Amino acid sequence: MRHLLGIEELDTDKALALLERAEFHGKAARTGEISPGSLRGKIVVQLFFEASTRTRASFEAAAKRLGADVINLSPSSSSVTKGETLLDTARNLEAMKSHAMVLRHPTSGAPHFLARHLRTSIVNAGDGTHEHPTQALLDAFTIRQRLGRIAGVRVAICGDISHSRVARSNALLLGKLGAEVRVAGPRTLLPPRFGEAFGVRVFDRLEPAMEGADVVMALRIQRERLVGSLLPSTRDYSRSFGITRARMRLAKPGALVMHPGPINRGVELEGALADAPESLVLEQVEAGVAVRAAVLEALES
């Protein structure tokens, strides 16, 4: 694989191969096995222009398990504060012979732009409201691990659909893998023609979307991307769109709950539900390391 820019560009066979390989890494991590060290002597650069806890830490853990050296750069600690452009910064890092550059950026398309100009492999760790491919891969991995399959599974993705790169990447990947995807959110947070573009059913109320769902995925309200008055108040929002234990009764008995993190407890997801046995939140985080190891290993450069 040359780059991982988005699920849109990833064919289904490659996605399945990454999930298979991630299973190997997941098992190795659980049994404390030594990693194969396939990236020994290589450099992985992490360029994060937006905040991150899980994504950055798990890429780093994955790279280190594979024996790579990791360089972490954020705008405040780099020459970006002195006016250096993204491309110049990236070119300089490439000159240090990096194996891969893991980029998170507030602008949709930033990783695609770098991929057009650099030889090093680019991994999209979240670009604006566009895509977050490794999140979708780790979510698919988690669902498959728990339910034994993805095809035919009904997944309701709920919340701020407009600003969510997680919603886009998940709708694409789960769709490619044969799941029945539904999305639900307030009308102001549902992009026009999302249903046709992503092949999913769209609901402006939670209840019909959650009916019979095997998995309910709550999304964070993307406050940093909300402009104008798209939401009355978080209290009103959580009253109509918060995922609670009571609402989970609409889903299939034993339905699972997911959230990519960070959680706004009591807003999009009830705190007690986030900690309940049916919550996969920490399994998603664990899967992140295995999936990202599979991705870093699959890159050509």
Residues of this chain that interact with ligand ASP (CB under 6 A) are: 126, 132, 165-166, 220, 260-261
**Bridge partners for 52 per DSSP:** none
What is the smallest separation between the CB atom of 54 and ligand ASP, expressed in angstroms? Answer: 6
- Select 250 or 285, whichever has its Cβ closest to ligand ASP: 285
Q: φ and ψ at 20, to 5 degrees?
A: -60, -50
What is the smallest separation between the CB atom of 166 and ligand ASP, expressed in angstroms? Answer: 5
What is the rounded distance in angstroms from the CA atom of residue 92 to the CA atom of residue 88?
6
- Select 268 or 270, whichever has its Cβ closest to ligand ASP: 268
- Select 202 or 219, whichever has its Cβ closest to ligand ASP: 219
- Select 58 or 120, whichever has its Cβ closest to ligand ASP: 58
Residue 91 contacts residue 113 (beta carbons within 8 Å): no
What is the smallest separation between the CB atom of 88 and ligand ASP, expressed in angstroms? Answer: 25
What is the rounded distance in angstroms from the CA atom of residue 146 to the CA atom of residue 198?
25
**Nearest by Cα to 177 from 19, 2, 9, 6:** 19
What is the smallest separation between the CB atom of 124 and ligand ASP, expressed in angstroms? Answer: 11
Residue 12 contacts residue 176 (beta carbons within 8 Å): yes
- Select 132 or 154, whichever has its Cβ closest to ligand ASP: 132
Q: Which two tokens stand for residue 164?
A: 């969510």
- Select 39 or 184, whichever has its Cβ closest to ligand ASP: 184
Residue 130 contacts residue 168 (beta carbons within 8 Å): yes
What is the smallest separation between the CB atom of 221 and ligand ASP, expressed in angstroms? Answer: 8
Q: What is the number of the residue whose Cβ is closest to ligand ASP? A: 220
What is the smallest separation between the CB atom of 250 and ligand ASP, expressed in angstroms? Answer: 23
What is the rounded distance in angstroms from the CA atom of residue 266 to the CA atom of residue 90?
39
What is the rounded distance in angstroms from the CA atom of residue 65 to the CA atom of residue 145?
22
Q: Which two tokens stand for residue 175?
A: 């769709």
